Structures are given as C-alpha cells and as structure tokens.
C-alpha cells in the first residue's frame, strides 16, 4: 500500500497536466514520456507485477469468499484496462508528434480514463481487499511473500536495463 501513495502523487500531477492540456489544447510529449515511463515501470511492472505475480497468484490457491474472488477479478481487469490506455496514450503521443489532429483527443481520453481509474482502484485495494485478504495467509506465508516482494524489487532494475540494452542492440 506504500506504493499506492506514490502512484496517487503521480496521478495528482497527471490531473493538473490534463487540465492544462484541455485548456491550452497542446500535448506536452516530454510529460507524456515521463508519465508513461512511470506507469509502465513503477505502477505496472513493479507494483502490479508484485500483485499479480505474487499476491494474486497466492490468493488464487486459497478458498476466497465470493466477494474477494469478485474483487480479485475486477482488480486484474483494471490492470489490463490501464495497460490498454497506456498503449493508447503512447500511440496518441506518437501521432500527435507527427501532426495528427485527432491524436490530442485520443491522448485526453486515455489520460481521463487513467485519472478516473487509479483513485477508485487504489481505494478498492486498500480498503476492501488487501487487509481483509491477509487473513487467508499464515504468518509464514506472509513472511515468504514479503521476501518475494523484496527479491522482485531488487531484480527489477536489472530486468529493466537488460531489456533496454537488448532493445538498443536490435536497433529499435
């Protein structure tokens, strides 16, 4: 949940930039690049990665209540929807830079979706899911997950920059 606080701070910045985009009718591509990097690396790969690859994986092996099972499905779907909107934002940013007039409204739509999604998504996780679902785990299971979270974070930077070098090597 600590990671949620940083994501919320970034969403606040995105909201301010979105208001500026709407009032001035221009897209700051450097800002979009910064936000996309944050969204893909921190929010999705780091944060959602730990949720999906560790917590959700382990919860799926438990006999969840109907409510918790429903929320788990919703959370996974919301992660998928966020990834789709980030891809749309990247596409719109690229088209905008090439002078495509329709790209601005597509970027606005993607940003609107994301600033609406994340506060609700985080509230759902913080207040209705994370704390209640901890009761499905023993103390030993929780300790193992925390160690796995730590290892996940520790390896993330290596994974990120290895992928970057491979991309450059391929000439992309």
For residue range 120-137, what is the model confidence (pLDDT) as tens digits?
A: 999 999 999 999 999 999
DSSP-derived secondary structure letter, 25? -
Query: Is residue 36 a contact partner of residue 90, using CB atoms and an 8 Å limit?
Result: yes
Neighbours of 102 (CB within 10 A): 10
Report the C-alpha gap between 42 and 36 in whole angstroms. 10
C-alpha distances (whole Å) from 103 to each of 31, 87, 112, 127 are 15, 13, 14, 36
DSSP H helices, the chain, are 2-24, 29-37, 49-50, 57-59, 66-97, 103-123, 131-133, 139-170
Report the C-alpha gap between 123 and 152 in whole angstroms. 24
* pTM, rounded to two decimals: 0.86
pLDDT at 158: 80
Report the C-alpha gap between 169 and 82 in whole angstroms. 29
Report the C-alpha gap between 45 and 158 in whole angstroms. 13
Query: Is residue 125 a contact partner of residue 68, using CB atoms and an 8 Å limit?
Result: no
For residue range 31-78, what is the model confidence (pLDDT) as tens digits?
A: 999 999 999 988 988 888 889 999 999 999 999 999 999 999 999 999
């Amino acid at each position: 949940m600590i990671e949620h606080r940083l994501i919320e701070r970034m969403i606040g910045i995105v909201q301010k930039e979105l208001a500026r985009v709407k009032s001035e009718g221009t897209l700051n591509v450097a800002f979009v690049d910064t936000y996309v990097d944050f969204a893909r690396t921190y929010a999705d790969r780091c944060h959602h990665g730990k949720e999906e690859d560790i917590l959700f994986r382990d919860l799926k092996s438990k006999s969840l209540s109907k409510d918790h099972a429903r929320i788990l499905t919703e959370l996974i779907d919301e992660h998928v929807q966020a990834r789709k909107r980030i891809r749309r934002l990247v596409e719109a940013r690229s088209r905008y830079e090439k002078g495509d007039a329709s790209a601005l409204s597509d970027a606005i739509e993607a940003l609107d979706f994301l600033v609406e999604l994340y506060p609700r998504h985080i509230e759902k996780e913080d207040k209705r899911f994370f704390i209640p679902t901890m009761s499905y785990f023993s103390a030993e299971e929780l300790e193992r997950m925390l160690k796995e979270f730590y290892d996940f974070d520790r390896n993330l930077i290596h994974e990120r920059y290895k992928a970057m070098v491979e991309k450059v090597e391929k000439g992309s």
